[in-house]
Structure 1
Amino acid sequence: MKNFLLLFLIIFSTGILAQEIENNEKQTQEEYIKGRILYLESTKKSGYNGQDGIKEIEEYRVRILEGEDENKEILIQSPVYLEKAYNIFIRENENVVLYKEHGELGDNTYYIVDIDKRDSIFLIVGIFVLLTVIIARYKGIKAILSLVIVVGIIYNIFLPMISNGYSPILISTLCALLCSTITIFLTTGFSQKGLVAILGAVSGVVIAGIVSMYFSYKMAMTGFVSVEALNYSTLLQGIKIREIISAGVILGSMGAVMDVSMSISSALTELRKRSADITKKDIFESGMRIGEDIIGTMVNTLILAYIGSGILSTLFIYLQKEQFPLIRILNFESVAADIIRAFAGSIGILVAVPITSYLCCIIFTKKNS
């Protein structure tokens, strides 16, 4: 019965996610379709001798693969800019994304806007899923299903609610509780071990959120930590943007904190099974020793993950180290936000160790030290 309910929840969540994505694609005002590059038809120099920033014009024969003009072959011009950062690296027999512009007389004009990366995305996701199932078998399947549910919760609950003006911190905390419960119970089943892991994980995540919220307000963070956020500030009206950093810490640290709590809870569960007369003190001390080994790698994992996600910003700062002194660099909002995310999340991992160990010694045994 429990497995049936979990399976129903998974299918329901996946269906809603797929439906939402499909609805968003239908509601978009701009029309993008899939095409395929057949071959390069011709190349000609720019008529302005590069003064317009264009080196040459390439003309490709393209087959349209979707829409009302499906299977139709057309010629599309694509500029090659002097600045390579603006170029689309087009190759023959490769799928591309076409922008469709409707003419007043019913004729359509198409432009190449990007390489279609969906096949590669599906491939790498497929490799991940396949390896997870091969290596972890049945538990790997449950892990993949829990991941689908988590993505569905974030897409269908977290994002819509904060876009409607609800507190990102509150909603992210509730989503973290829901995601942790589903993930751990789906992986371990309904057990004391899973309950302890959930309580430890949620406690660590909430503390990480509180720490990030305190320092975000102490540093007078605005929440606009990127150029994109500033450019699209009109879309963010009505959203409590200052809480987004803390919400990101709560969701971003959730996986690592769950890992720590689950590892300690599982280890202490086995210890309790093998030694029925173990005391609370022994369980707590064992949990702390296990946590010491985990902390060394997990703290690095979280901090390096944030550094890796912002590697381009880190590179820009390094290249401008002669131009900006340290006092200026540390006061860039994007830098301060990354520091808050990394260290607040790591604090969540640290406090999850004693909390989970203490919960284990309370729940797993009634003996006093």
Structure 2
Amino acid sequence: MAHGHGEVRLETGEARRVRTVLAAFVLPLLLATIVGLVVLWPRGETPVGSMQLTVEGVTIETGVVERAATPSGQTVVVELTSGADEGDQVPVQLPPALAAEADVGDRVKVASPGPEGGEYSFWDFDRRSPVLWLALAYLLSVAVVARGRGLAAVVGLVGSLAVTVYFVLPAIMVGQSPFLVALVGSSAMMFLAVYLAHGISIRTTTALLGTFAGLAITIALAAWGTRAAELTGSGDGIPIIQESFPGVRLSDLVLAGIVIAGLGALNDVTITQASAVWELHAADPRASRRRLFGRGMRIGRDHIASTVYTLAFAYVGTALPLLIVASLWDRAPLDTVMSGDIAEEVVRTLVSSIGLVLAIPITTGIAAFLVRRQPRRH
């Protein structure tokens, strides 16, 4: 019975600590997030879906490549699988760069002739099937390896993406500050992702607090970095944004992108550090907070060493074509790195990495302070 009463007291103490931390830190953050969502939520008509992809009378149909282009040609034969001419085989001319990529059996999207007639034209490859299979493989892998917790994390991911689609993008489009929208949206995403994936506990609350601390550092550095480096964004969509939303500062969009881009990796390191401290405590329940922090930071330093190159490698991989084009120009390597397109990603990587690195000792310190410690026996 004594053992059972001891368990009740420990559980009560744990619950009391959770309530204290929630009341002192997490609830104010949650309330501020809810208020921000209410105030910034886009109301009425939004520009989402307001631009037509094609002229009136032109539709996008699907088809299968029945005959590939010859080595010296750019025209393939496509059998239509939708639309008024379904079942017909029509010639479709591909862009020069894609002529060699279309093989027999590939699914493509084509634009139908307009009201004045003409031929079908290439629109894009139809990628729905392979992406769907990859998504199913991903869900199966998560379900088998991580089981219920992994599937809960997927639900959190879907919820976070919903915040982006239904709040972040429309709110920026209707003229709300991209900085404030990114701040509130990131906070909402973190509440959904952390608590849905890991449950409500003192451990996950510790990780959440560490995430918010890293997020605050990232926001401060991103705000300074985008202004100081005169970052105004890059990409094919910038002219459309400037024309459609003249009141939106491009540097604010860059800032919002930097903040949101680092959320996943930031949450990863804080969850890992909180879990590490709890496992260290389980192995030595009477270890002092100072010793727990020191042991946790030994793990954290390894984590820091890996994050130093994680984000950098991610950028190099995604921007490889851009880097190849940039390296063709006859200029010094430093000038190449400081060019607009590349400098934006350099600043993004540096800012996110600093936030990650500093979040590790902060989270470790919070965890060492909040973890239940048993007194030493004399």
Deviation at 1:361, TM superposition (A): 2.6
Show the counterpart of 1:62. 79
Contact residue 283 and residue 361 of structure 1 kept, 8 A? yes
Distance 2:318 2:65 in 1: 36
Structure 2 residue aligned with 1:288, among 297, 319, 331? 297
SS in 1 for 2:123: strand
Counting only pairs closer than 5 Å after superposition, residues 197-212 of structure 1 correspond to structure 2 as 197-212=207-222
Identify the match of residue 153 of structure 1 among 142, 145, 163: 163
Equivalent residue letter for 1:131: S
What stretches of structure 1 of length at least 5 have no aligned partner? Answer: 1-22, 46-54
Partner of 2:191: 181
Pair 1:244 & 2:253 matched = yes
Per-residue deviation, 1:177 = 1.7
Q: C-alpha deviations, 1:170-202, integer Å up to 9, x for none? A: 222222222222212112211000111001012
Percent of aligned pairs sharing the same letter: 21
Q: Match of 1:332?
A: 339
Q: Deviations over 1:141-164 (max 9, x none)?
A: 112211111111111111111122
| 1:1-369 paired onto structure 2 within 5 Å | 24=49, 30=55, 31-37=58-64, 39-40=66-67, 56=73, 58=75, 60=77, 62-65=79-82, 67=83, 69=84, 72-79=86-93, 84-85=96-97, 87=99, 89-103=101-115, 110-221=120-231, 223-230=232-239, 233-320=242-329, 323-326=330-333, 328-365=335-372
- One-letter amino acid of the counterpart of residue 77, structure 2: Y
Question: How far apart, in 1, do the equivalents of 2:210 and 2:54 lie?
Answer: 46
The structural deviation recorded for 1:355 is 0.8
From the superposition, tell whether residues 80 and 333 of structure 1 become closer, same or farther in structure 2 (CA, over 3 Å). Answer: closer
Does structure 1 retain, via aligned residues, the 8 Å contact 2:206–2:366? yes
Query: Aligned-pair distance for 1:74?
Result: 2.9
How far apart in 2 are the matches of 1:240 and 1:153?
22
Kindly tell me the number of residue pairs found equivalent between the two proteins: 326
Tell me if structure 2 keeps the 8 A contact 1:204–1:351: yes
1:34/1:95 contact within 8 Å kept: no
TM-score, normalised to structure 2, is 0.77
Conserved? CA contact 2:218–2:355, under 8 Å: yes
| Unmatched tracts of structure 2, length 5 or more | 1-47
Amino acid of the structure 1 residue aligned with 2:212: V
**Once the 2 structures are TM-superposed, how far is the Cα of residue 294 of structure 1 from its aligned partner?**
0.9
Contact 2:65 2:108 in 1 (8 A): no
Q: Which amino acid aligns with 1:36?
A: G
- Call closer, same or farther: CA 1:59–1:211 in 2, change over 3 Å: closer
Distance 1:315 1:59 in 2: 30
Alpha-carbon distance in 1 for matches of 2:100, 2:291? 62
Distance 2:68 2:275 in 1: 63
How far off is 1:95 after superposition? 2.1
Distance in 1 (CA, whole Å) between partners of 2:66 and 2:345 is 45
The one-letter code sitting in structure 1 at the alignment partner of 2:64 is: I
Q: Secondary structure at the match of 1:73?
A: coil
| 1:26-50 Cα distance to aligned partner (Å, 9 max, x none) | 975555433323634998x9xxxxx
Q: CA deviation at 1:274?
A: 4.2
Is contact 1:279-1:367 (8 Å) kept?
no
Q: Does the 8 Å contact 2:67/2:78 carry over to 1?
A: yes
Task: Give the TM-score of the pair, scaled to structure 1.
Answer: 0.78
Partner Cα separation in structure 1 for residue 335 and residue 301 of structure 2: 36
Question: For 1:230 and 1:352, how far apart are their aligned partners in 2?
Answer: 36
Q: Partner of 2:262: helix, strand, or coil?
A: helix
Q: Is the 8 A contact 1:164 1:239 kept in 2?
A: no
Deviates more, 1:141-150 or 1:270-279: 270-279
RMSD between superposed Cα atoms in Å:
3.0
Give the 3-state SS of the residue equivalent to 1:96 in structure 2. Answer: strand
Flag the 1:218–1:93 CA change in 2: closer, same or farther, 3 A: closer
Cα distance between partner residues in 1 of 2:359 and 2:199 = 21
- Cα pair distance change 1:59/1:197, threshold 3 Å: closer
Q: Which amino acid aligns with 2:338?
A: N
In the alignment, the residues of structure 2 paired with residue 193 and residue 362 of structure 1 have an alpha-carbon distance, to the nearest angstrom, of: 11
SS at 1:142 equivalent: helix
Q: Deviations over 1:303-331 (max 9, x none)?
A: 211222211121222232xx112453243
